[in-house]
Amino acid sequence: MSIDADRLWRRIEALSKFTDPDRPWTRRSFTPRFLEGRKWLMAEFRAAGLETTVDAGGNLVGRLAGADPSLKPIIIGSHSDTVPSGGRYDGILGVLAGLDVAQSVVERGERLRHSLEVYDFLAEEPSEFGLSCIGSRALAGALSDEMLALTRPDGMTLRQGIGLVGGRPHELASVRRGADSVAAYVEVHIEQGRVLESQGTAIGVVTDIVGIRRERIIVSGRADHAGATPMPLRADALVGAAKLIEAAYERAGARANDPQPLVATFGRIEVSPNAANAVPGEAVLTLEVRSGDEAAVKAFGGDLVSDLKPALAALRLTVRSEPISHVPPTACAPAVRSAIAAAAASLGLSTRDLPSGAGHDGVFIARAGPIGMIFVPCLDGRSHAPEESIEPHQAADGARVLGETVRLLDATLG
């Protein structure tokens, strides 16, 4: 399957320029900038010959009808929204590589057996509503009324936000894909890590998407005057928080060489009274744990708090935890992984298996059918940062492997 590498790169450059000018590369979901990018994307989908719609969940969908209407569709794509100041290639590579694959089918005058659907999923990145993977959740039937009632700082509800981008939240049932309703889902993405680049490997065949668990850990002590309270009499909550952070870092680091390594991050800390002249009386920490080992992800935070309780009690502190969210690991399907590896081999591209340490829409699409992911290297492993960068030939390699994977799946899947 031929890919127009120059066209793909031109489109990547064009879409990336829909950005907040003072914060490149920023195109947050549910914003005017996002809608500008969507309008451009919709025009490109239609110009490529795709039947183009925005579904009830706010996803942009381009479709090529297959020759056999009894077969389940093959889905490809990704997302066009970004995190703040990062995302020149994260997401849009998968959308535009999918578009070029579909356009190449049209241009050759061929017809696949399966219908081919290209998706720009709504709000894969965490949104201001406090939720990520909104469009793919819609396909999985995983958008609850409670989620739709979530509000962003200006008071808009998620239900209203889906309507803003052209979705129809009152018709969400119409986009839900039941179990075994998708022949396969394949996505091209930058690795967001350093493995492929460090080893000089062209293509990563993703084995699984890690599980992600977030917990809120509250350390309680006593707020006191910073000058008048002797050190032996303090109950400094931030000292207890520091012990938790250090222990988590050491425990996760000890698993670095495990077959399924675990990473743990305290990325958010709220301290009160949060004053230079006050002993911290409370620290609220957000712990995020990621691994392909589901049991380890579930146990990490609870074990950490339980094991450190005596040490914190000696500092006159109490500690408790409460869950925020949990998404289990998602395995990529052996049949899709094999097709990706065979596609890369047929193109003379080197491969290696590796897990995804980031979350993706595929976690939810996996409820409807088998999934697979193709990784390409990114410069120094940087992502979610302005420095995120790939080369044109890397984008083209990912698209070529995607195209050949689609061809193989179309020929072999029922």
Say how far residue 273 (Cα) sits from the centre of its chain: 35
Nearest-CA neighbor of 217 among 290, 130, 307, 304? Answer: 304
287-319 in b/e burial notation, b at 16+ Cβ within 10 A?
bbbbbbbeebbbebbeebbeebeeebeeeebeb
Phi first, then psi: give them for residue 324, nearest 5 degrees.
-110, -55
CATH code matching the domain that covers 211-327, chosen among 3.30.70.360, 2.40.128.690, 3.40.50.11540, 1.10.10.60 = 3.30.70.360
* DSSP three-state, residue 50: coil
> What is the per-residue pLDDT across 371-393, written as a single tens digit (0 to 9) for each?
999 999 999 999 999 999 999 99
For residues 363-374, average pLDDT: 98
Q: First and final CA of the chain: distance in angstroms?
A: 20
Where exactly are the structural domains of the chain?
Answer: 5-210+329-412, 211-327
For residues 172-184, average pLDDT: 97
For residues 38-61, average pLDDT: 98
CATH topology (fold) of 5-210+329-412: Aminopeptidase (3.40.630)
Residues near 214 by Cβ (< 8 Å), separated by ≥ 6?
A: 286, 287, 288, 289, 323, 324, 325, 326
Q: How far apart (Å, rounded) are the C-alpha atoms in residues 176 and 171?
A: 10
8 A C-beta contact, residue 14 and residue 126: no
pLDDT at 1 over 80: no
For residues 146-153, average pLDDT: 94
> What is the per-residue pLDDT across 76-94, written as a single tens digit (0 to 9) for each?
999 999 999 998 999 999 9
pLDDT of residue 78: 98
For residues 171-190, average pLDDT: 97
State the helix-helix crossing angle for 392-412 and 5-16, rounded to 10 degrees.
Answer: 110
* pLDDT confidence band for 130 (50 / 70 / 90): confident
DSSP 212-272: EEEEEEEEE---EETTTS-GGG---HHHHHHHHHHHHHHHHHTTTTSSS-EEEEEEEEEEE
